[in-house]
A = this chain, B = another copy of it.
Amino acid sequence: MAQPALVVEAGDPFMTSDIVVEMVKQLRALDTYDTYEGWSEEKIIDPLVMTKERKREIPIIGDPDEITLARVKAYYNSIASLIEKKGGLMAVPVINITHEGFGRALVLVGKLIVVDKVLRDVHRFGFPSLEDLASKTDATIEKALGLITTYREVAEA
């Protein structure tokens, strides 16, 4: 398969957003087969951008492949890692995905569930733009930090 053109351009301001920086770090760390060796950060994060055009080229029904699963896991691992950094308490990601690409992603802090997302159509996982990835993720993290503040005792339990 020919490499598709990149959507993310060098100098995109959201390349320095918390989630993009963390995800690039996580994807590189988990890259046991050196898939990403020599790749720019833009190229590593690019498949997370699921434009309408890209989405159209993917069947509506499909099983996620290993690399897509690894990206989804890296995404929720990154969210947990950012919540931990900002909230100061250990945050644990729990990700359950069936072979058909359905499932659930949780982030746990103590006895508190701070992120709880239903996953579907994981084979088409992505965000319309890097900006959208950054803003949706920020909202998820803010909500999680709010829960930790409200239910501090449970988060520390």
State which residues 87-126 of A face B: CB under 8 Å.
Answer: 94, 96, 104, 106, 108, 111-114, 116
Q: List the B residue with the shortest CB-CB distance to A114.
A: B111
Any chain B CB within 8 A of the CB of A10? Answer: no
Chain A, interface residues (CB within 8 Å), range: 10 to 19
**Other-chain residue from B111, B114, B147, B151 in contact with A116 (beta carbon distance below 8 A):** B111
Known: A94-B94, A94-B104, A151-B157. 13 other contacts (CB 8 A): A94-B96, A96-B96, A106-B106, A106-B108, A108-B113, A111-B113, A111-B147, A111-B151, A112-B112, A112-B113, A112-B154, A151-B151, A151-B154
Q: List 23 A-B contacts (CB under 8 A).
A: A94-B94, A94-B96, A94-B104, A94-B106, A96-B96, A106-B106, A106-B108, A108-B113, A108-B116, A111-B112, A111-B113, A111-B114, A111-B147, A111-B151, A112-B112, A112-B113, A112-B154, A113-B113, A151-B151, A151-B153, A151-B154, A151-B157, A154-B154
